[in-house]
Amino acid sequence: MNPRLPDIYERLLNCYGPQHWWPGDSPFEVIIGAILTQSAAWGNVEKAIGNLKSAQVLSVDALRRLPAETLARLVYPAGYYNAKARKINAFVEWLWEGYDGDLDRLFELDVAALRRELLSVYGVGEETADSIILYAGYKPVFVIDAYTRRIVSRLGLAPRVSTYSAYQDLFMQGLEPDVAMFNEYHALLVRHGKDVCRKSPRCQPCCLSAVCPFPEGLRSG
DNA sequence: GGCCAGGACACCA
DNA sequence: TGGTGTCATGGC
């Protein structure tokens, strides 16, 4: 149990306030957004989701029937449009075949089984799987992304091995399992990463300076 | 004009 | 197991 993790959370929350993640009208929309946002700016993802809504195809049934080229054209603004169309198609086909297209049935699984299942789908890696479990399934797993790794490293909390699961264990073992808090914590780390860490490759004074063991400007990366 | 964004996968040594 | 290339638009 790392006592610094709750402290960091409180400081980020006081600094930025609630982030209201994940933007989306339904769990299914959250899942499609999780695939589309892979290595993409969220603004571009919103355009792609807007296209899917306008075309009235943001459902398992409609997406299954959609020709690959049409789906690729609709998600074009999110980048990697051919690859992402293939991933979305793989997910809806998998959901249809295994769960009759019913997300409620999928989310009846416990977290470990759900994660294994999701990771078996083409295009769903660890971060995407955990985003789906947390933000669409409302189950307590901590999502690790590039910002989280960077911030954790700069704070001197990086695990010995730099794997996804090692970073995830750091948070899962350092915090009480709480869906709302995990949701907010991850969103706040992304917010902090965007607002502070991205603008300067080296650390500047920020809302986490008080809990950072390193002198200002020493850390980079 | 270059860099990066709320990654995943294939291929190679 | 780890490193590298590929997928690609859009904002700054």
Alpha carbon distance A135, A19 (integer Å): 13
Residue A46: CB less than 7 A from any atom in strand B: no
The full set of domain ranges for chain A reads 4-19+143-211, 27-136
Q: Are A201 and A134 in contact (CB under 8 A)?
A: no
Residue A83: CB less than 7 A from any atom in strand B: yes
Q: What would you report as the CA-atom Rg of chain A, rounded to the nearest whole angstrom? A: 18
pLDDT reported for residue A185: 97
pLDDT digits (tens, 9 = 90+) for A6-29: 999 999 999 999 999 999 999 999
Examine the pLDDT at A216 and tell me if it is beyond 70.
no
pLDDT reported for residue A202: 78
pLDDT reported for residue A218: 61
Q: Are A165 and A119 in contact (CB under 8 A)?
A: no
| Closest nucleotide to A22, Cα to C1' | B6
Q: Per residue in A175-184, is it b (16+ CB within 10 Å) or e — as a string?
A: beeeeebbbb
Nucleotides on strand C with an atom closer than 7 A to protein CB?
2, 7-11
Residue A102 CA to B3 C1' — how many Å? Answer: 41
Alpha carbon distance A149, A193 (integer Å): 10
In chain A, residues 92 through 151 whose Cβ sits under 7 angstroms from any atom of nucleic acid strand C: none
Residue A48 CA to C8 C1' — how many Å? Answer: 14
Examine the pLDDT at A1 and tell me if it is beyond 90.
no
Nucleotides on strand B with an atom closer than 7 A to protein CB?
4-10
A4-19+143-211 has CATH 1.10.10.10 classification: no
Distances (CA, A) of A51 to A72, A77, A116, A205: 11, 9, 31, 41
Residue A79: CB less than 7 A from any atom in strand B: yes
Residue A18 CA to C10 C1' — how many Å? Answer: 27
| Closest nucleotide to A150, Cα to C1' | B6
Residue A162: CB less than 7 A from any atom in strand C: no
Between A60 and A214, residue with greater pLDDT: A60
- pTM given for the model: 0.96
Examine the pLDDT at A220 and tell me if it is beyond 80.
no
pLDDT digits (tens, 9 = 90+) for A174-208: 899 999 999 999 999 999 999 988 877 778 888 99
CATH class held by domain A27-136: mainly alpha
Which has the minimum average pLDDT: A2-6, A37-41, A112-116, A168-172?
A2-6
Alpha carbon A141 to its chain centroid, in Å, reads 11
pLDDT reported for residue A84: 98
pLDDT digits (tens, 9 = 90+) for A81-134: 999 999 999 999 999 999 999 999 999 999 999 999 999 999 999 999 999 999
Examine the pLDDT at A68 and tell me if it is beyond 60.
yes
